[in-house]
Amino acid sequence: MRFTLNGKRAEVRAHPMARLLDVLREICQLTGTKEGCGEGECGACTVLVDGLPVNSCLVPFAQVDGARVVTIEGLNGKHPLQHMFVEHGGAQCGICTPGMIMAAVALGPKPSLEEMQDGLAGNLCRCTGYSAIYRSIRAATKAKKVVRTFRSARSAGSGRKKR
């Protein structure tokens, strides 16, 4: 299947019903996306597909044919959210962090507290409580160039052809 992965065209051979999570981790060797529950309940495996957060443990690989997929690796360690999660204690054990950051990227550049709560409702963290996570997101929104950074992360590899 052909799709855009972290801004680059990719062609990957895998069973169409393989979980996107497994394809990313095992075939593409992108292990930043974590498996928590394997049932779509925890959000640890969140990635962006065409700019929207999805639980990659529930997505058959066939569904990303022609799509834009962005994983935590696609942020290249340079996104303000990544830095602020570390600086403000939003990252603790690390299992939920990649999925939490990807869900937060999908919120856009200036989410309200209510939008953060709604947008992260499908992402569970057993370490921090959520105040440190919300504080990290709020701090990232104040970082320079944040609007451009959020937009580029959400639309990495844009140019998908409509069918």
Question: ∠ CA 145-151-152 to the nearest 5 degrees?
Answer: 90
Cα–Cα distance for residue pair 156/11, rounded to 1 Å: 16
pLDDT, mean over the chain: 90
Tokens of 81: 């959210």
Listed in order, the ranges of the chain carrying CATH 3.10.20.30 are 2-74
C-alpha 43/C-alpha 34 separation (Å) is 9
For the domain with range 80-150, which CATH number is right: 1.10.150.120, 3.10.20.30, 3.40.50.720, 3.40.50.1700? 1.10.150.120
Single-letter amino acid, residue 116: M
Kindly report whether the global pTM for this prediction surpasses the value 0.95: no
Q: Give per-residue pLDDT as tens, 67-95.
A: 999 999 999 999 999 999 999 999 989 99
Q: What is the pLDDT of residue 160?
A: 40
What fold, for 2-74? Ubiquitin-like (UB roll) (3.10.20)
Q: What is the mean pLDDT of residues 97-114?
A: 96
pLDDT in tens, 116-155: 999 999 999 988 789 999 999 999 998 755 555 556 666 6
Residues of the chain with CATH 1.10.150.120: 80-150
